[in-house]
Structure 1
Amino acid sequence: MPWVFVAIWSTGFVVARLAMPHVPPLSFLSWRYALSVLAFALWMRVAGVAWPLGVRQWAHLGVSGVLMHAGYLGGVWAAVRAGAPAGTVALIVGLQPLLTALWESQRGRHAVAPLQWVGLLLGLAGLVLVVWPKMGAGEVTPANLGLTLLALGAITSGTLYQKRFVQPLDVRAGNAVQLAAALLVTLPFAALETAPMVWHPDVLIALAWSVLGLSLGGSSLLMMLIQRGAATRVTSLLYLVPPCTAVMAWWLFDERLGLLALAGMGLCAAGVVLVRRGDVR
Structure 2
Amino acid sequence: MDLRAIFMGLAFAVMWSSAFTSARIIVTAAPPLGSLALRFLISGLLAVAMARMLGQSWRLNRAQWRATIIFGICQNALYLGLNFVAMQTVEASLASIIASTMPLVVALASWLWLGERLRPMGYAGLLAGVLGVTIIMGARLQGGADPWGVMLCVLGVLSLAAATMSVRGAVSGGNIMMIVGLQMLVGSALLWPFALALETPEVTWSWTLVVAFGYTVLIPGVAATLVWVLLVERIGAIQAATFHFLNPFFGVAVAAVLLGEPMGRYDVIGVVIVTLGILAVQRSRAALR
Bucket of the pairwise TM-score, normalised by the shorter protein:
0.7 to 0.9
C-alpha spacing 1:226/1:67, structure 2 compared with 1 (3 Å): farther
Query: 1:94 deviation in Å?
Result: 4.8
* Structure 1 stretch displaced more, 156-165 or 83-92: 83-92
Paired letter, 2:262:
R
Q: How many pairs were matched up? A: 276
Match for residue 4 of structure 2? none
1:188 aligns with 2:193: yes
Which residues of structure 2 form unaligned runs of 5+? 1-7
1:100 aligns with 2:140: no
Match for residue 177 of structure 2? 172
TM-score in terms of structure 1 length? 0.82
1:271 aligns with 2:250: no
The whole-number CA distance in structure 1 between the counterparts of 2:223 and 2:109 is: 28
C-alpha spacing 1:138/1:22, structure 2 compared with 1 (3 Å): same
Match for residue 78 of structure 1? 85
CA contact 2:98–2:154 (8 Å) conserved in 1: yes
| CA offset digits 1:218-239 (Å, max 9, x no partner) | 34455677894359x94x7555
1:208 aligns with 2:234: no
CA contact 2:99–2:157 (8 Å) conserved in 1: yes
Which residues of structure 1 form unaligned runs of 5+? none
Match for residue 119 of structure 1? 125
Identical-residue share of aligned pairs (%): 24
1:35 counterpart (30, 36, 42): 42
Paired letter, 1:20:
V
The whole-number CA distance in structure 1 between the counterparts of 2:271 and 2:283 is: 18
Paired letter, 1:115:
M
C-alpha spacing 1:224/1:171, structure 2 compared with 1 (3 Å): farther
Query: 1:23 deviation in Å?
Result: 0.4
C-alpha spacing 1:84/1:57, structure 2 compared with 1 (3 Å): same
Match for residue 154 of structure 1? 159
Query: 1:176 deviation in Å?
Result: 0.9
CA contact 2:27–2:85 (8 Å) conserved in 1: no
The whole-number CA distance in structure 2 between the counterparts of 1:165 and 1:133 is: 39
Query: 1:62 deviation in Å?
Result: 1.5
The whole-number CA distance in structure 1 between the counterparts of 2:260 and 2:150 is: 28
* Structure 1 stretch displaced more, 63-72 or 105-114: 105-114
C-alpha spacing 1:181/1:54, structure 2 compared with 1 (3 Å): same
Match for residue 66 of structure 2? 59
C-alpha spacing 1:147/1:123, structure 2 compared with 1 (3 Å): closer
